[in-house]
Amino acid sequence: AQSVTQPDIHITVSEGASLELRCNYSYGATPYLFWYVQSPGQGLQLLLKYFSGDTLVQGIKGFEAEFKRSQSSFNLRKPSVHWSDAAEYFCAVGAFPGTYKYIFGTGTRLKVLA
């Protein structure tokens, strides 16, 4: 079955500390992987995506993610967290080509301590 798992529901880090948000997927074909961020009461903003090629992808706002096929993971990282990074983060795998639907993880809520 196709699925995306984000094991951490909540994560709290201090401002300036490093961050890693975990994402594991189960998908039968080549995965198209995404990380989105959602601020309260807002839509989703794309942070980065992986389709192929270099397994370390850079995104906006200083985020990066590494695709590890052997571990079926696509973890999101940031070396130094800012207070404005507090939000909900969603990992998703896209059914491309085909239905073009996203399968979203359950999300990780990030809290940043001053």
For another protein, which stretch binds (CB under 8 A), given 22-30, 42-50, 59-67, 78-86? 42-50
In degrees and rounded to multiples of 5, residue 106 shows phi and psi of -80, -10
**Least Å from the CB of residue 63 to another protein:** 16
100 binds another protein (CB under 8 A): yes
Question: Pick from 61, 68, 82, 101: which binds another protein (CB under 8 A)?
Answer: 101
Token readout for 80 is 């130094």
Question: Pick from 12, 79, 106, 113: which binds another protein (CB under 8 A)?
Answer: 106
**CB proximity list for 109: less than 8 A, separation 6 or greater:** 9, 10, 11, 87, 88, 89
Q: How far is CA 112 from CA 21, 55, 64, 86, 92, in A?
A: 13, 28, 18, 6, 23
By beta-carbon proximity to another protein, the closer residue of 33 and 112 is 33
Q: Of 79, 75, 100, 69, whose CA–CA distance to 89 is shortest?
A: 75
By beta-carbon proximity to another protein, the closer residue of 40 and 70 is 40
Question: Pick from 1, 28, 43, 52: which binds another protein (CB under 8 A)?
Answer: 43
Residues within the interface to another protein (CB under 8 A): 32, 36, 41-46, 49, 51, 90, 94, 96, 99-102, 104-107, 109
